[in-house]
Amino acid sequence: MMRTLLIALVMSASVAHAKVCKDSDQGLIPESAGKVIYSLGDENCLGDSCYRQVVKEFDRCLDSQKLLEFACQQGEIIEKEILCAPDQACRQGACVKK
């Protein structure tokens, strides 16, 4: 009886978390400025108010030719430096025609 109670207390004390990763431009697309929202929430709770530890990252230019692109991969946020094509420049988080 005591062992069962102890196991039940340990299980109820642990909180299950759900990861949510959303990318507005749907991947590593340098021609489109996007935003990635990554959050960690409580699986036992319903609704948007259950999510906390929210991270928002916007695709952004590191210089006139280099883009820092964010995306979701297997439910996790990733970042990648992308060099714009020679006929493009990095402006407002995207590689666009010069």
Burial of 34 (0-12, 13-18, 19+ CB in 10 A): buried
Structure tokens at 77: 């946020």
Which band of pLDDT confidence, cut at 50, 70 and 90, is reported for residue 47?
low
Q: Alpha-carbon distance 49 to 71, whole Å?
A: 23
Tell me how far apart the terminal alpha carbons of the chain are, to the nearest angstrom: 74
Residue with the bigger pLDDT between 39 and 49: it is 39
Report domain extents, the chain. 21-97
DSSP three-state, residue 80: strand
- What percent of the chain shows pLDDT beyond 70? 69
Instruction: Report the alpha-carbon angle 56-57-62, nearest 5.
Output: 160
Structure tokens at 76: 């996790």
Quick: pLDDT tens for 57-79: 999 999 999 999 999 999 889 99
Residue with the bigger pLDDT between 97 and 46: it is 97
- Give the closest residue to 60 by CA, choosing from 86, 84, 87: 84
